[in-house]
């Protein structure tokens, strides 16, 4: 006797008793099925959009594994898991910021300027720091905030200011450095900011590290190879911080690992020694702009991956020192500077080819000694 199976009379099925070909099944009602990791033949990019934070991505060529720690369309942050390398950081496609500095009236300013990357435009005010200050030199940036560390009001200070990219409000205190730091250079990973060197008798080799996620006192993170890195340019790759130039006309470049607290390594030299230079970076190279040697308009490019002498990469529109840099994914930007003849000029140059910078607009004020940030 053959019994037709229906949903009313089947209470259980034993898999080993089933034979023959199965019909096409509708799986739309299935639940409890885990979604595997995203994958591809290369590393994810900031534009590799996951469904949310915590999604895993596997590089099927290298075996490297990443997890999404910030899920924002087109600006995702993919962090390498385990002992791997190469975190995919923020997109840096939106805007540049210049905070604080020495204004033309001879006094320090607390003003934060913001301008958009891409098409030429003038900056607008974006709130204020907690106090007017100069000589913060190069700032640091997370995916959501800018950080201005150290500087002078005067006197020299150790405070860290934090301001939101999303809103035009006054900055808040974000802890302090372990020391007062004037004219220190900044670098940043996806989770921490780094303040390198400072001015003072004999200079400083100190490197401070502070977390973006918590408001605490910064900790020591090793030392530089030399003490004359004050007034130098800061640069960031996904795994290392770099500092170039410094003093009156130094040509050295140092490289420090974000992951370990050790003495920095020598990383070649600039083609021309400079101090008071601006710093920018693409995903593969660092760029030193302007500086005094005496005052120059030279843009110098060095590779993050190899320890070699920097190469010429064109010129700024003018000789300049004490300007600050901002980086998009495609261009370097140089803002303000001068001293004593300060300027409000914003200029940009392309990372893709060695060519001269062009005008991009103006800041809301003439200013030097300001800190640079990018969103």
CB-count exposure of residue 4 (10 Å: 0-12, 13-18, 19+): exposed
| pLDDT at residue number 135 | 92
Give the pLDDT band of residue 200 (cuts 50, 70, 90).
confident
CA distance 131 to 111: 9
Question: What is the percent of the chain with per-residue pLDDT over 70, rounded to a whole number?
Answer: 89
Q: Tell me the pLDDT tens digit for each residue of 49-80.
A: 998 888 999 988 888 888 887 787 777 778 77
Give residue 18's pLDDT.
66
Question: Which one, of 172, 168, 243, 252, lies nearest residue 206 by Cα?
Answer: 243
Residues 172-189 pLDDT 10s = 999 999 999 999 999 999
Task: Note whether 128 and 170 are within 8 A (CB).
Answer: yes
Q: What is the pLDDT of residues 94-124, one digit of tens each?
A: 999 999 999 987 799 999 999 999 999 999 9
Rounded CA gap, 111 and 148, in Å?
Answer: 12
Which of 81-85, 104-108, 308-312, 364-368 has the lowest average pLDDT?
A: 81-85
Residue 256: partners with Cβ closer than 8 Å, 6 or more residues away: 187, 194, 196, 207, 221, 222, 224, 240, 241, 242, 243, 262, 264, 265
CA atoms of 222 and 260, how far apart (whole Å): 8
pLDDT at residue 230 in the model:
95
What's the pLDDT score for residue 28?
A: 67
Any idea which residue has 């303000």 for tokens?
A: 336
- Tell me the whole-structure pTM to 2 decimals: 0.81
Residue appearing with tokens 């802890």: 175
Contact 169, 132 (CB under 8 A): no
Taking only the tens place, the pLDDT of each residue in 34-56 is: 667 899 998 888 788 998 888 99
């Amino acid at each position: 006797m053959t019994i037709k199976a229906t949903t009313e009379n089947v209470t259980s099925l034993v898999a080993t008793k089933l034979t023959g070909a199965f019909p096409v099944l509708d799986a739309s009602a299935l639940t409890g099925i885990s979604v595997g990791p995203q994958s591809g033949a290369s590393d994810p990019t900031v534009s590799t959009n996951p469904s949310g934070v915590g999604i895993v991505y596997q590089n099927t060529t290298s075996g490297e594994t990443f997890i999404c720690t910030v899920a924002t369309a087109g600006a995702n942050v993919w962090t390498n898991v385990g002992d791997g390398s190469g975190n995919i950081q923020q997109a840096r496609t939106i805007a540049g910021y210049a905070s604080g500095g020495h204004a033309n009236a001879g006094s320090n300013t607390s003003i934060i300027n913001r301008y958009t990357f891409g098409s030429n435009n003038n900056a607008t005010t974006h709130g204020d720091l907690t106090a007017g200050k100069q000589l913060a030199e190069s700032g640091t940036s997370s995916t959501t905030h800018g950080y201005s560390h150290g500087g002078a009001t005067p006197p020299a200070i150790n405070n860290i200011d934090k301001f939101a990219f999303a809103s035009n409000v006054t900055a808040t205190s974000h802890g302090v450095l372990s020391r007062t730091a004037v004219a220190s250079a900044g670098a940043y990973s996806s989770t921490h900011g780094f303040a390198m060197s400072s001015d003072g008798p004999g200079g400083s080799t100190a490197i401070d590290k502070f977390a973006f996620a918590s408001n605490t006192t910064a900790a020591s993170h090793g030392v530089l190879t030399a003490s004359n890195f004050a007034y130098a340019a800061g640069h960031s790759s996904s795994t290392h911080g770099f500092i170039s130039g410094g003093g009156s006309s130094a040509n050295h470049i140092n490289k420090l690992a974000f992951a370990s607290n050790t003495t920095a390594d020598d990383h070649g030299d600039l083609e021309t020694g400079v101090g008071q230079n601006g710093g920018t970076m693409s995903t593969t190279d660092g760029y030193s702009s302007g500086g005094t040697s005496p005052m120059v308009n030279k843009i110098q490019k060095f590779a993050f991956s190899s320890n070699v002498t920097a190469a010429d990469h064109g010129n700024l529109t003018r000789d300049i020192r004490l300007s600050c840099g901002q980086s998009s994914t495609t261009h370097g930007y140089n803002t303000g500077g001068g001293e004593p003849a300060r300027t409000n000029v914003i200029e940009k140059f392309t990372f893709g080819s060695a060519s001269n910078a062009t005008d991009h607009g103006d800041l809301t004020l003439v200013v030097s000694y300001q800190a640079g940030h990018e969103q």
